[in-house]
Structure 1
């Protein structure tokens, strides 16, 4: 019995790897602290021009695919607060969250799609920015879908909103 226990102990110890055999080839794990260097004035982050170009008016051409994508993204990101019809009656409102304004109010009906894109990008009031969650192309799709919702709510055909 002792022999078996000794054999198991030797086997387990032999299986252990201390990691010292290749320690010279491993880099130090200590953090290197460098002094703070401020960003030079006039510096522009990579991708800024492309991001601004994607958000510039008039945006992509309004197509059936764009509208379908806008409806999908609207249902995912906007309908919890604004409701499926855009009247501010989403599921979070039923749970006590203050209702957002209806897209069918006159002050919101006059907004251009590029203004809606700016609200999606930067947020407004209680609405936080969605720039880190929704791609610029999808923001345009949502904006055009919102304009279609507004047109349907007033009785006009959604095609009447083309830029």
Structure 2
């Protein structure tokens, strides 16, 4: 019996070595398809199944500009954006005054000329030190914030001569 013990040990030690093989030379099926095609379907990317959470945020179309949209944008802007960007969009929010890096002013020429979708995309994906707000702010609210940023830009960069007479009379 004692002579069989080393033989059994040797057999058990050799068994895993016999199972080793070069996996790169094994026959295999390629079960994947290229990412830009979806055989058997007329639309790509496919619509999510009901009662599921989308894996990625799909681009939303811009809503119509309404007073309600601007009011919602102002409310959401005050909550999410003023700590960094400030109430006027100058980039001098409270945390900037306490040492955080200053974001660009919304009134810079580059951002005044940027498409409105740029503000939506930055809120969705983040930019520089700004992280994504996609998990905190709904797509509709991101569009509302983008519309409000446009209103801020207009309010701070319009000459008094361009204002209607009744508005000019209220100015000091």
Q: CA deviation at 1:56?
A: 3.0
> What's 1:86 paired with?
89
Unpaired stretches in structure 2, ≥5 consecutive residues: 1-31, 36-44, 164-172
- The alignment status of 1:63 with 2:66, answered yes or no, reads yes
149, 152, 157: which one aligns with 1:149: 152
Matches within 5 A, 1:1-163: 46-48=52-54, 51-52=57-58, 55-57=59-61, 59-155=62-158
Take 2:115 and 2:127, find their aligned partners in 1: how far apart are those partners?
A: 16
Take 2:93 and 2:109, find their aligned partners in 1: how far apart are those partners?
A: 20
Q: Secondary structure at the match of 1:72?
A: helix
RMSD: 2.6
Q: CA deviation at 1:107?
A: 0.6
Take 1:68 and 1:108, find their aligned partners in 2: how far apart are those partners?
A: 22
Asked if the contact 2:84/2:93 (under 8 Å) is kept, the reply is yes
Deviations, residues 20-51 of structure 1 (Å, cap 9, x unaligned): xxxxxxxxxxxxxxxxxxxx766966454995
Take 1:91 and 1:65, find their aligned partners in 2: how far apart are those partners?
A: 27
Q: Secondary structure at the match of 2:100?
A: coil
